[in-house]
Structure 1
Amino acid sequence: MPTTAKPVSPFFGHDSTVPPPLPSMLTDQIELFGSPCCHMTLLADEVLAPAGLDTRQVIKSEELPNSYESKIPKPIGEPGHPGHGEYTLEIALDWNHKIYVKFKKHIFHPINEHLDITKCASVQNPTLLRLVCNKAVAVFPDLDNYAHAWPVSDMIMMHLKYTSSCARCQEVEMAALQPPRPRSAQGHLVMSQGYADF
């Protein structure tokens, strides 16, 4: 079966009144040649695509769950030292300093009351983590504006990281203060009353 070739113009069609799209300009080119002719706008029913997704895709707001539409997303990275790919929680929240300190002081009480402060957040009971989170949201209703209440999770993680580190240091200090156990000439523990001291 013979195939027929249809010539395609390298430019826009002759019958089209719409000019071809302009090639994208680099930032340096924009600074040299002025602003680009085509301004990008965001329609009312569109949202910006998250980093890592193909930016040519348009994500309609109807496709997103309602609970995430207006929630404040968690910053990229972990809370901690901002110079190492992390962020400072107080700066990320952009709250009044007094409110941040009040939040910080309030969250420590339920953490110490309901969670095992000698262990990090990843090994805590998820139900107890949710309980602490719900208590914080009850006192600070604005936390509900954040996706998954990430400020509470970040504060829990940072506090438990600190307290579990302190607990490990205390264990090491206690072990260093204990006198060495008596051993026989062969290196075995000496038995006292039929049991080895462990």
Structure 2
Amino acid sequence: MNLMLAVILYFGLAIFGLGLLLLLFLLIFKKSIKAALIIALIGLLVAAAPVGYQYYLSQKAAHEAQVKLEKREKSFNKHERQFLKHIKQATASTEYVAQKYTATWETLIKDGSVTIGDSTYTDNENAIAGEGRRLVAEGKLDDADNYYAIAQTDYESMKDYKTSHNKERLVYAKNVLAKTNAFILAATRPNSTYQDYADDIYKTNKSHVRAIDQLKNARSTAIN
């Protein structure tokens, strides 16, 4: 309560107190108490005014804070929705690349050679490099990284609207980024044997999916 409201409050209480004293005096001497009651009532009204105004201000502030919080939550939810969308696109692009590399490797193992475009390869290193060049030519190899970069931007936007209600989901989103990045790196940069590649894809994808499910479940609980 500011100084002016405090002065009005105490002034009103003083008038109210004076009215009560006068009322007591008049009752003792059996005089008319009408004037004393009026004075006490005026004092009470004056004292109540700043209290009521202060209550109004506190309610107004609480309402404005709630509106602001709801706007932040709405913005967070929008960017989180975009985040999940771009993570899904990054996942699909990563799976596409993984399937292509895996198919090339499996054909080479089965047939002893694999034809990619106009070239035929009989060794792992050149076959995988050839598949990589084809993916680049198709514009597919960088898709996962590009969608991942957009998801990172979405995450930064989510951070701008962090509240006590969504901070846990922000932690989950950060974990999704880390697990998705591991999956992308494993799938789009093969540099080992077929079995090692397959194992890495399986493990990183499993962790990646678990992280996404954790965020989705938290989001569903918060929104519903």
TM over 0.5: no
TM-score, L = length of structure 1: 0.23
* Larger Rg, first or second structure (1 or 2): 2
| Structure with the larger RCO, 1 or 2 (CA within 8 Å, 6+ apart) | 2
Q: Which has the higher helix share?
A: 2
